[in-house]
Structure 1
């Protein structure tokens, strides 16, 4: 399997992985997949329900199985969940099986993009902005360690981000 054939988008919730991934896949004429949507499709329930029933640990186990399967496909653009990089195995599969692009954004931007979204169980807290800041502080080093390319999406539209990715892709 050629690493260059797959593009994996990592980053925090609200960074634009799904929106950018869809447009990037269309531009490159590749299949677009979203690991969270694949999990929902196969289980028949949404992510918050999985969190309610199985907890975060149960969800992460499902996520790991899904990432192992999806990253073995070819010619795909894959948007991963924000916590996908927490698992060492996930990080290794992403690095070995494709080009990893970290879409970053500021805490303010992430909060603005996610504040009304009830489909994000980790943000159903008293202070979702602080939760985003805490998650980003913990995960940012893992995103950076895993990524081949890092882009800041703050203040940029999907088209600009896609153009930047295309300009940075190898070969």
Structure 2
């Protein structure tokens, strides 16, 4: 049975950003730096279904995948001190977006279309970035497709409490910056919660 979200848990960190922005790489390192646990939502969906994300998209379609993704995201309800890496399109699905907004703190790893295209041009496991007929996109075609998808997704990405630019930055530097910002945010939120509780007495 799904656990309700009773109170926003500031130390429940949701990492968002486009495919290739570094969520799966940075997420475990950030969790280790904070002393938190880590969950990759795509990996959790694959574990639960025994199928790859590409196979789920191919066999069942995007709508079915978004529901499976939502179930995996909701599994962290009520947890704390956890970094959760979201799929690039998770926030587009309204039920997932609503849950994340109520449950924890959103962090956006922001990358430019050109950087993302460079990282993704040889990847074949990104269903939404495939060309028709299975043809591989050229670098220019891929960059344009990423730019168009980003235009749709970024309004929700930019709702994040913390945004870090990952272009031309070492992973270690990104993790250090995120750790500082998240620890400061969690301390501030915890102090505000404590003050609010004191006022309620």
TM above 0.5: yes
Residue of structure 1 in register with 2:170 after alignment: 157
Give 1:119 shift. Answer: 1.0
List structure 1 segments (4+ residues) > 3 angstroms apart after TM superposition: none
Find the partner of 1:137 among 131, 135, 151.
151
Does 1:49 pair with 2:55? Answer: yes
Per-residue CA deviation, residues 43-91 of structure 1 (Å, 9 max, x unaligned), is 1111000000011111111111211113443221110000000022222
Secondary structure at the counterpart of residue 20 of structure 1? helix
Distance in 2 (CA, whole Å) between partners of 1:97 and 1:128 is: 34
Q: TM-score, normalised by structure 1?
A: 0.93
Residue of structure 1 in register with 2:95 after alignment: 89
Check the 8 A contact 1:71/1:94 in 2, yes or no.
Answer: no
Structure 1 residues 22 and 124, CA gap change in structure 2 (3 angstroms): same
Q: TM-score, normalised by structure 2?
A: 0.80
Does 1:5 pair with 2:11? Answer: yes
Choose 1 or 2 for highest CA Rg. Answer: 2
Structure 1 residues 71 and 144, CA gap change in structure 2 (3 angstroms): farther
User: Which consecutive residues of structure 2, in runs of 5 or more, have no partner in the other structure?
Assistant: 1-6, 132-136, 188-201
Residue of structure 2 in register with 1:62 after alignment: 68
Alignment of 1:23-34 (within 5 A): 23-34=29-40
Give 1:97 shift. Answer: 1.6
Number of equivalenced pairs: 170
- The CA RMSD over aligned residues, in Å, is 1.4
